[in-house]
């Protein structure tokens, strides 16, 4: 049992099986057992082993992490088996089986113990004759009916088998997988099979654009290889961004088409009066999404004026209507609103007139207050949505009556800027490469030029004149122009895997200013507060390559210690 093969041999003997090479009768090994019986036994043993492993974790985080890793491998093995089985059903035309063997098979496998132990056998093959209609129309309908899947889910497994595994053609000839690099990753179990299946589908959709290139074979090979590498280092969002970026590079009109399609559905629609309130649905384009996202970040960032607690009349933070030490004074109750016959103890309290206080006394304007049964994350999401909704309602009120004073409940103090990172050639119309917003949304060059003409955009052109991007040792803090340039380059927190946008990050000196570091763009990078703290704690390091700061992850995440950029905002970096 010194090697993996020895461990596998031992396990197979324990469940009554034997390695494949022993099926011919190698001395000292047990006779060959039906692999399907072995699979049935392993399925029951795996479930028992998982339960026992989970119970053995106790208070050990290392054992919990090991359980997560091993469970993920079991899941990937199962997903691989699902695709393999779908291909087998296609190759054998399993949809032509008649009712009798199917009923007997389903009854047998409902409790596979007898089958695994060899006490029961599989029914004999009985298929529908060529002159009769089969029980199922095609293999996809067979899988849908027998495994209780959706039809498109079953169809997806079959097409994935054809894209990522050896399969048979319509004439029975053996065919290789359409995407061999992704097939190798699937077989190796180093990526989520579902992720690989979706990537293969998107790659197939790009084939017409690839065929139009001067060397389509080389381009197809390079793109698939990079997608295979990205699938092993990034998540679904990262791979999706990478594939979208590839689609944009192949065809410049992709973003324009998406914007034209979005324009068809843009609007604010009333969806009905429901128990939770009056529901409206807002559909907007990338510009509107970026403005709302930036406003939400600003309103919920405690470091901004809009995200700070409200200030009372005497300059102290307002904590609650009962906090008299902070100088809190709620608006007075009109005399007409209080019946003289009402006893004083039953009259409305002062906070009754405060628009920032809920009727039940819960202040939704400050962190730490939750409804009964509400988790912290749910409370934060609720407050975030309430602040954004309040800002929109305030904007409507001010638009309707500009002379109306803005009270303490109207968080309209911040000025939201829309930043779009775009090449100078695109901004001037020489090329049509789209721009990118800090939240990772693409904006067509035409839309960026239109917004620039309307004054609603800050087009940041890397390397352009007019901003002091290089200040050397004269200044301790980065200027606003430098921060914009760094934000355009990093697009968010530079720590690989972190999804914190630019508005929630701060600029870090690669070499500390106190140790002689310069306040230059090439010596600064964006880090969120959490990752900034992790850097100073020594959890990762930074290296500057070609004027771009890059992160070297700890050995637990990257044993090769390769400098890399954040693949969330730079999906191409995951495959570099």
Instruction: Give per-residue pLDDT as tens, 433-458.
Output: 787 777 777 888 777 766 665 444 55
pLDDT of amino acid 400: 66
- Of residues 290 and 105, which shows the higher confidence score? 105
Residue 1 has pLDDT above 60, yes or no: no
Label residue 401 by pLDDT band (50, 70, 90). Answer: low
Mean of the per-residue pLDDT values of the chain: 77
C-alpha dist (Å) from residue 408 to 309, 324, 356: 10, 17, 9
114 pLDDT tier (thresholds 50, 70, 90): confident
- Partners of 223 in beta bridges: none
Model confidence over 171-199: pLDDT tens digits? 888 999 999 999 999 998 889 999 999 99
23 falls in which pLDDT band (50, 70, 90)?
A: very low
53 confidence band (pLDDT: 50, 70, 90): very high
Please say if the pLDDT value at position 156 is more than 90: yes
Interval 512-522 mean pLDDT: 76
| More confidently predicted of 119 and 163 | 163
Q: How far apart are CA 453 and CA 145, in angstroms?
A: 58
Q: Which residues contact 346 (CB under 8 A, 6 or more apart)?
A: none
Handedness of CA 380, 385, 388, 393 (dihedral sign): negative
Taking CA atoms, 280 is separated from 24, 242, 266, 380, in Å, by 70, 33, 13, 21
The whole-number pLDDT of residue 363 equals: 40
Measured between alpha carbons, how far is 50 from 54 in angstroms, rounded to an integer? 6
Q: What is the pTM of this model?
A: 0.63
End-to-end CA distance of the chain: 38
Residue 506, pLDDT above cutoff 50? yes
The reported pLDDT for the residue numbered 304 is 54
pLDDT tens digits along 57-80: 999 999 999 999 999 999 999 999
Residue 571 above 60 pLDDT? yes
| Residue reference for tokens 């097409």 | 159
Nearest to 390 by CA among 482, 258, 296: 296
pLDDT in tens, 265-284: 888 888 888 888 888 889 98
Count CB atoms within 10 A of the CB of residue 410. Answer: 17
In sequence order, the β-bridge partners of residue 528 are 505
Instruction: Determine the longest span between alpha carbons in the chain, in angstroms.
Output: 103
User: Would you say residue 81 has pLDDT above 60?
Assistant: yes
27 pLDDT more than 70: no
**pLDDT band (50, 70, 90) for residue 291:** confident
Quote the CA–CA distance of 153 and 86 in Å, as a whole number.
11
All residues at 6 or more sequence positions from 131 whose CB lies less than 8 Å from its CB, including other chains: none
Q: In the structure encoding, which two tokens stand for residue 519, read together? A: 């306040």
Determine the average pLDDT of the residues in 507-533: 83
What confidence tier does 200 reach under pLDDT thresholds 50, 70, 90? very high
Angle subtended at Cα 356 by Cα 277 and Cα 294, rounded to the nearest 5 degrees:
80
Q: Which of 104-108, 153-157, 469-473, 496-500 has the lowest mean pLDDT?
A: 469-473
pLDDT of 407: 46
Helix (H) or strand (E) holding 274: strand 267-274
Q: Give the pLDDT of residue 196.
A: 94
Beta partners for residue 281, in sequence order: 269
Find the mean pLDDT for residues 450-472. 48
Q: Which of 10-24, 25-39, 494-508 has the lowest mean pLDDT?
A: 10-24
pLDDT of residue 334: 58
User: What pLDDT, on the 0 to 100 scale, is given for residue 123?
Assistant: 93
For residues 311 and 408, the answer to whether their CB atoms sit within 8 Å is yes
552 falls in which pLDDT band (50, 70, 90)?
A: very high
Mean pLDDT, range 91-105, rounded to an integer: 92
pLDDT average, residue stretch 470-495: 73
Confidence band of 320 (pLDDT split at 50, 70, 90): very low
The per-residue pLDDT for 250 is 82
pLDDT at 131: 80
Q: What percent of the chain has pLDDT over 70?
A: 72
Residue 84 has a pLDDT of 94
Contact 311, 318 (CB under 8 A): yes
Label residue 475 by pLDDT band (50, 70, 90): low
**Section 28-43 average pLDDT:** 75
* pLDDT (tens digit per residue) in 325-369: 444 454 555 565 556 776 766 655 544 444 433 333 334 344 446
Mean pLDDT of 545-549: 86
Question: What's the pLDDT score for residue 314?
Answer: 34
* pLDDT at position 47 over 80: yes
26 vs 527: CA distance, rounded Å: 61
- Between residues 415 and 9, the one the model is more confident about: 9
The answer, yes or no, to whether residue 502 has pLDDT greater than 60, is: yes
Say yes or no to pLDDT of 379 above 50.
yes
* Residue 390 · residue 396 · CB < 8 Å: no
Cα 372 from Cα 381, distance rounded (Å) = 15
Could you tell me which residues are beta bridge partners of residue 544? 549
Q: Are 237 and 441 in contact (CB under 8 A)?
A: no
């Amino acid at each position: 049992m010194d090697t993996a093969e020895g461990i596998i041999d031992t396990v197979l003997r324990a469940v009554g099986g034997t390695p494949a090479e022993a099926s011919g009768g190698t001395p000292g090994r047990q006779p060959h057992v039906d692999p399907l019986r072995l699979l049935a036994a392993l399925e029951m043993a795996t479930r028992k082993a998982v339960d026992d492993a989970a119970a053995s974790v106790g208070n050990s985080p290392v054992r919990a992490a090991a359980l997560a890793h091993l469970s993920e491998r079991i899941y990937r093995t199962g997903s691989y088996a699902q695709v393999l089985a779908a291909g087998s059903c296609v190759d054998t035309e399993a949809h032509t089986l008649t009712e009798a063997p199917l009923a007997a098979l389903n009854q047998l496998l409902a409790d596979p113990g007898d089958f695994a132990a060899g006490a029961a056998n599989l029914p004999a093959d009985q298929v529908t004759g060529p002159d009769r209609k089969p029980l199922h129309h095609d293999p996809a309908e067979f899988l849908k009916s027998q495994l209780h899947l959706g039809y498109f889910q079953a169809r997806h497994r079959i097409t994935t088998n054809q894209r990522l595994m050896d399969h048979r053609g319509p004439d029975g000839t053996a065919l290789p997988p359409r995407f061999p690099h992704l097939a190798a990753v699937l077989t190796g179990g180093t990526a989520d099979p579902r992720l690989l299946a979706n990537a293969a589908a998107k790659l197939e959709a790009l084939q017409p654009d690839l065929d139009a290139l001067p060397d389509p074979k080389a381009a197809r090979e390079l793109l698939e290889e990079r997608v295979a590498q990205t699938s092993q280092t990034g998540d679904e969002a990262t791979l999706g961004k990478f594939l979208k970026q590839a689609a944009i590079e192949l065809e410049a009109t992709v973003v324009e088409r998406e914007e034209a399609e979005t324009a068809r559905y843009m609007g604010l629609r009333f969806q009905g009066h429901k128990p939770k309130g009056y529901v409206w649905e807002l559909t907007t384009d990338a510009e509107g999404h970026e403005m709302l996202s930036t406003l939400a970040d600003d309103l919920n960032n405690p470091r901004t004026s809009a995200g700070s607690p409200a200030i009372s009349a005497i300059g102290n933070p307002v904590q609650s209507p009962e906090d008299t030490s902070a100088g809190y004074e709620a608006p007075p109750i009109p005399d007409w609103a209080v019946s003289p016959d009402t006893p004083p103890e039953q009259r409305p309290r002062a906070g009754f007139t405060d628009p920032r206080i809920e009727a039940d006394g819960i202040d939704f304007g400050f962190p730490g207050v939750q409804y009964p049964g509400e988790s912290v994350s749910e409370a934060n999401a609720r407050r975030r949505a309430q602040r954004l909704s309040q800002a929109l309602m305030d904007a409507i009120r001010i638009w309707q009556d500009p002379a109306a004073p803005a009270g303490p409940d109207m968080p309209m103090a911040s000025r939201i800027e829309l930043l779009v990172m775009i090449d100078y050639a695109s901004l001037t119309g020489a090329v049509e490469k789209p721009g990118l917003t800090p939240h990772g949304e693409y904006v067509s060059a035409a839309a960026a030029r239109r917004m620039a003409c309307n004054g609603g955009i800050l087009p940041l052109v890397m390397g352009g004149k007019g901003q002091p991007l290089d200040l050397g040792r004269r200044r301790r803090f980065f200027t606003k122009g430098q921060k914009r340039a760094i934000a355009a380059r990093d697009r968010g927190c530079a720590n690989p895997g972190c999804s914190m946008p630019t508005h929630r990050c701060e600029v870090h000196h690669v070499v500390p200013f106190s140790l002689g570091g310069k306040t230059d763009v090439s010596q600064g990078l964006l880090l969120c507060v959490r990752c900034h703290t992790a850097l100073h704690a020594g959890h990762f390091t930074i290296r500057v390559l070609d004027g771009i700061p890059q992160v070297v992850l700890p050995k637990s995440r990257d044993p090769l210690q390769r400098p890399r950029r954040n693949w969330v905002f730079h999906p191409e970096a995951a495959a570099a």
